[in-house]
Structure 1
Amino acid sequence: MADFTHLVIGAGVVGLSIASRLARRGAQLFTQDCIIRQKSYGRSCVSRGSTCCTMSARKLEFPTGTVTEEEHEKLTHMHEKAKLLGVPTTFIPLAKGKEIEPAVRAQVAILESLSTGIVSAHSLMEYLSGELDSHGGDLALYTSVVGIDYSRASNLYNVEFKTGNPDEKQETMSLKFESVINSAGLSAPTISNMLLPEERKLTAYYAKGNYFSYASSRPKTKRLIYPCAHGHTGLGAHLTLDLAGRIRFGPNVQWVLSPNDLVADGSQIDEFHAEVSRYLEGVDKSAMAPDYAGIRPKIYPKEHEGFTDFVIREEEGFPGFVNLLSIESPGLTSSLAIGEYVEGLLYRQ
């Protein structure tokens, strides 16, 4: 007999979204903070991103600097896809773009998104955690998964945990679940490898994103500014605003060996200044300073070519075991939809 219906491993915004969604069905939920042993939820990927989301604010996206036909085609493709999805975007004349954002450089096209903005990731996670609690779910912090086994006889997952502050004496416990949802972010490959056979084991790769703060009052923008993305790894060093209206630039892409490499790399300042100056006039390099960094969870190496999407799947041969891999940007934007999608996988909706 199962101790709980579902185990959600990972208490970031995606894990909490999934857990709160399942809890509203009346399922017995046990949500814990995977192998990172945090004292609070959302202390990994989501707390170190741009916190941009499709909310009620505005974003400009455009090809800048040395404009190519490929960049224009990318924006046109983005606009057409947005229309299919019901997301409001519009091309605006360059003269109007200069009028509303005088410091922005755009030579060929400007695509405006009318429903993109910023959100307090912490407030969202606080709400989801409250939803989980109000529907009877359990959130176990300072708890790590150390082993997972699947019994085909009982169709249950036996999961071993270590609980307690890692700096103090920890206790071991074991619980049984009907399903396990692996939403562990940077630790998701490690969790997956505890269960799947050797030929299906994963290697984790880490793409660091550095952010730089900006202390000058000039140039000033009222919107999020995104250059046309090059390649598939990141969106480029865009301009974003925090909830207080402060400017920061980032993230770039810097491949690293450890998920704990979380200090912003100040040596990247020349690269950042050159990139930002492609689309913004009068950027003062002396006003830029390394701010913070985050890590994108990857399951493909730097040499991998082509677009890689989120991986969300119920693993073959392991009914009820759902893997969520490479959940990076736009994971925050997608978090509520991912919760709905995982519910559909488990309940065949």
Structure 2
Amino acid sequence: MLASKAAGSLALSRGHGGLRRHLHATSAPRADFTHAVIGGGVVGLAIARQLSQRPNTSTVLIERHAALGTETSSRNSEVIHAGIYYGRESLKARLCLRGKHLLYDFCAKHGVPHRRVGKWIVAQDDAQRDQLEKLRGDCAALDVPTRWVSEGEVRRRGEGVRARRGALESPTTGIVDAHALMAALRGLFEHHGGLVALRAPVTGVRPLGPGRGWRVDVRDASAAGEATASVTAEALVNAAGLGAVHIHNMVVPEARRRKLYFAKGNYFAYAAARPRVSRLVYPAPTPGAAGLGTHLTLDMAGRLRFGPDVEWVDSPDHLAVSEARLARAADQIREYLPGVDPERLHPDYAGIRPKLTHGGSAQMGANFDDFVVHLQDGRDSWVDCLGIESPGLTSCLAIAERVHDLLYARPT
């Protein structure tokens, strides 16, 4: 377990990158920080905020971009998931269930815009209904509230949703303003003395020896030329999202290196007043699929958007919406919302989900991709967070708790 230790010799400009080293007169070895967190998305922010609350410690958050949360954290559906899809034993299920409650409480306490809008997962045939009945059984085992809604009740609601074989209602599903959430987490992190290094892509990570912590080398993109700097820390947390496997591979032996696969999700906005739907609507999940289907979500203003689909790409930089996929998306949407006018759908944005296997399933079953959040390589001061896709936003505060406990309390 880690000892509590005050900040060391490296000072970072608060919130503006610009790594500037301040050398002490003494030559005694000492870590610059107690904790270094790599990755400034919502998960990295939640972890950094959690660790910064420990007394007599110091925490630095290292982000390669010029702003926090510009990758997966700001390019998703902004859904607070109920924990329906991930089975009874997975880490995704445990962290989503815990994270959902933590997130609702956090948003209420800190004024982060959110709404508990609920969700319908709709079935159009007997096979889909059987799939939803299985989900309902899993939810009962996990104490996740659900309610069966008949096809007649769906019609009587008058919102134009089609569910030929009924729908499974999730009353605890909601939506959140992800940008406001990240701003709140950053404010609390800095309030507790945390420091943010922006424009600081990591170029190397290496252990300093037993009990001596870690050295993180970065390129200081805020400086002229190719300036470099280093940070030392007692504990290292890899929460780099789309770059997490790259960071992982800097440290582990070649035989244990991993590959990351990129599942792009295209989103489409809807520019019409009708149909007007007051809840999220998802199709019944397809077993083994890498996503949950092109579903209907709402933003905080009540505007409809649809997505994401699944498009495998070679690079996380492929962020332009694939307009050629709109026609297929429209067909899928009209299965459960037949009143949608395809002419009023238009490309909105795209996001990338980090997958640990190609074709990795989004729900429990064959080829299921679970979260990886554990102490790595037999070391007690390095936590890896790999494959943090959906429900990563919902789970962020629970992931932060787990990372803290891995470093200080050793959870199972």
State the TM-score, normalizing by the size of structure 1.
Answer: 0.93
Pick the aligned partner of 1:178 from 198, 210, 234. Answer: 234
Partner Cα separation in structure 1 for residue 258 and residue 278 of structure 2: 42
2:42 partner amino acid? V
Does residue 61 (structure 1) correspond to residue 118 (structure 2)? The answer is no
Does residue 10 (structure 1) correspond to residue 32 (structure 2)? The answer is no
Residue 348 of structure 1, CA deviation: 2.0
Does residue 72 (structure 1) correspond to residue 132 (structure 2)? The answer is no
1:266 partner amino acid? E
1:149 partner amino acid? R
Q: Is the 8 A contact 2:355 2:369 kept in 1?
A: no
Q: Is the 8 A contact 1:75 1:228 kept in 2?
A: yes
Residue 284 of structure 1, CA deviation: 1.1
Pick the aligned partner of 1:45 from 72, 79, 99. Answer: 72
CA shift digits 1:162-199 (9 cap, x unpaired)? 22337x43421122211111100100111111111101
Q: Is the 8 A contact 1:297 1:326 kept in 2?
A: yes
Residue 303 of structure 1, CA deviation: 7.9
Q: 1:261 aligns to what?
A: 318
Aligned pair count reads: 342
- Pairwise mapping of residues 219-298 of structure 1 onto structure 2 (< 5 A)? 219-230=275-286, 231-298=288-355
Give the unaligned 5+ runs of structure 2.
Answer: 1-29, 82-114
Pick the aligned partner of 1:114 from 171, 177, 194. Answer: 171
Q: 1:94 aligns to what?
A: 151
Residue 89 of structure 1, CA deviation: 1.5
Compared CA separation, residues 101 and 146, structure 1 to 2 (3 A)? farther
Q: Is the 8 A contact 1:2 1:178 kept in 2?
A: yes
Does residue 197 (structure 1) correspond to residue 253 (structure 2)? The answer is yes
Q: 1:338 aligns to what?
A: 399
Match of 1:209, SS? strand
RMSD between aligned alpha carbons? 1.7
Partner Cα separation in structure 2 for residue 63 and residue 320 of structure 1: 47
Structure with the bigger percentage of strand: 1
2:73 partner amino acid? V
Give the unaligned 5+ runs of structure 1.
Answer: none
Residue 267 of structure 1, CA deviation: 0.2
Aligned identity (percent) is: 41
Partner Cα separation in structure 2 for residue 83 and residue 123 of structure 1: 32
Partner Cα separation in structure 2 for residue 42 and residue 303 of structure 1: 24
Partner Cα separation in structure 1 for residue 226 and residue 238 of structure 2: 23
Residue 263 of structure 1, CA deviation: 0.4
CA shift digits 1:53-86 (9 cap, x unpaired)? 145221111212xx133x2233223223333333
